[in-house]
Amino acid sequence: MSINSYSLPAGSVWPRASVFLDQCYAELGLLDELSARKQDVEREILETGSYVHTIRELAHGCRMAWRNSNRCIGRLYWKSLKVVDAREINEPSHVFDALQNHLDLAFNKGEVLSVITIFSPRADFQLLNHQLIRFAGHGNGKGDPAEEVFTKTCNQLGWEVDPKTDFDVLPWVISKSDGTTVMHQPSIQPEMLVDIKHPDFPWFEDLGLKWYAVPAISDMVLEIGGVVYPIAPFNGWYMGTEIGSRNFGDVHRYNKLPEVALRMGLDTSNSDSLWKDKALVELNRAVIYSFRKAGVAIENHHDASEQFMQFLRLEEQHGRESTGDWSWVVPPMSSSASPIFHSELVNKVVGPNFFYRSIIPSAGRVDTAQTQKKGKCPFHFNSLK
Ligand code: ARG
């Protein structure tokens, strides 16, 4: 069995292709080319079971998939996605080069660009990383607890750092269908990591926090018109709360609220003092301030909310039903101060879209939250079947 056994049920490729091509060619103003193209695609599917997207279909399909990503607040910019066609690449060393190019193109000296790199639907390798840049979880409170299982896999493959810190960038791991595994350390320019300081509290930098500039999800499956791309890393730029509230604030992540509150001199013995809320605000101010000062793109959750409302208005103007997953799109702090909190969103999944991929047993990376939701979650790839 191939390592990427994401096949759609026989008979479902053409219907999905047909719907996609209708929409894609209409949106691109290419309706005069549609019927000839559909004939070709139908024949290709009959002969081979699938079809190859033209570069225009691929590029617009990727942008549609972003537009349809119900959990993303940043979708106003869906048209700006840069699509890199890496479908010809199969050699691990070339894959690593393509991933490095992705990061360098996306970082863009701090003016982060949204980029997606598309590998072959029939690639005989799988990329095991959750994101292209992520910090190791060494256990015992060192590093990012969310990466502890994957870090262990890397350790078993021989990856070690000395000394271990809270912010060691993990290697890329590729598993091939012949059972071999290849690792490569990405080259991260110092400017791709931002040291976190606070505009008013000089002690803040003693916490030694930093975060990376480019959030690039690399473990989701992209489906466009019946073609499944199992390796399609994509990135946007950060909204501050992703780092300040979640990555630093969550108890099961870096869990920094108690330390920040203590340094602020807050009464942590009684939740009536709202010490968590005060610490959250200052953590988030520090993240936004530090990214801005470093010249690295970041959005605050108020501006991001306004942009999302603008996205909804534009979708309506184009006669498209806009969809969203309320609990994901509402920012994780000061939620009622965001207009999204007061709006109703329909969480309907339409294609093209991104889905969580099935957990590959050889990866040794098991995301319990995802496993529990398996089968129920509309974004799990299995639900397409
Ligand atoms: N929330 C994730 C993180 O903090 C990143 C998800 C994608 N975010 C984005 N702004 N495109 O690492």
Determine whether 237 is an active site residue: yes
Q: Which amino acid is at 80?
A: S
Q: Relative to the CA of 243, which ligand 1 atom is closest? A: 4
- Would you place residue 17 in the very low, low, confident or very high pLDDT band (cuts 50, 70, 90)? very high
Annotated catalytic residue within 67, 75, 87, 134: 75
For residue 194, the surrounding DSSP H or E stretch is strand 193-195
Pair 240, 300: CB distance under 8 Å: yes
CA distances from 87 to 104, 127, 263 (A): 19, 14, 51
Q: Residue 383: pLDDT above 60?
A: no
Under 8 Å between Cβ of 102 and 216: yes
Looking at residue 375, its amino acid is: G
The percent helix, strand, coil of the chain (3-state, each to 5) is 45, 15, 40
Return phi, psi of residue 178, to 5°. Answer: -85, 5
Ligand 1 centroid–CA 181 distance in Å is 27
Q: Which helix (H) or strand (E) holds 340?
A: none
Q: Report which protein residue has its CA nearest ligand 1's atom 4.
A: 242
Span 279-303, pLDDT tens digits: 999 999 999 999 999 999 999 999 9
* Strands 234-235, 115-119: pairing kind: antiparallel
Say what the pLDDT of residue 312 is.
98
Distance 293 CA to ligand 1 centre (A): 20
- pLDDT surpassing 70 at residue 242: yes
Does any ligand 1 atom lie closer than 6 A to the CB of residue 236? yes
Mean of the per-residue pLDDT values for the chain? 93
**Cα(124)–Cα(3) distance, integer angstroms:** 6
Query: Per-residue pLDDT tens for 40-64?
Result: 999 999 999 999 999 999 999 999 9
pTM, two decimal places: 0.93
241 close to ligand 1 (CB < 6 Angstrom): no
Report yes or no: 235 and 115 within 8 Å, Cβ to Cβ: yes
pLDDT computed for residue 2 by the predictor:
63
Closest-CA residue, ligand 1 atom 10, reads 238
Nearest CA to ligand 1 atom 5: 215
State which H helix or E strand residue 355 sits in: strand 353-356
Asked if residues 169 and 134 have their Cβ atoms less than 8 Å apart, the reply is yes
Catalytic pick from 66, 237, 357, 365?
237
Q: Is 242 a catalytic residue?
A: yes
Of 88-92, 195-199, 201-205, 364-368, the one with minimum mean pLDDT is 364-368
For residue 285, what are the CA distances in angstroms to 37, 199, 268, 339? 52, 8, 20, 20
Pocket test for ligand 1, best of 238, 248, 379 (most atoms within 8 A of CB): 238
Higher pLDDT, 246 or 367: 246
Atom of ligand 1 at shortest range from CA of 238: 10
pLDDT of residue 380: 58
Per-residue model confidence (pLDDT) at position 42: 98
Specify the ligand 1 atom closest to the Cα of 239.
10
pLDDT of 315-368, one tens digit each? Answer: 999 999 989 999 999 999 999 999 999 999 999 999 999 999 863 333 333 333
Q: Which residue has the higher pLDDT, 248 or 367?
A: 248
Residue-level pLDDT at 18: 98
Could you tell me the pLDDT band of residue 4, with boundaries at 50, 70 and 90?
confident
**CB 82 within 8 Å of CB 49:** no
Number of other residues whose CB lies within 10 A of the CB of residue 120: 17
Overall average pLDDT of the 124-148 stretch: 97
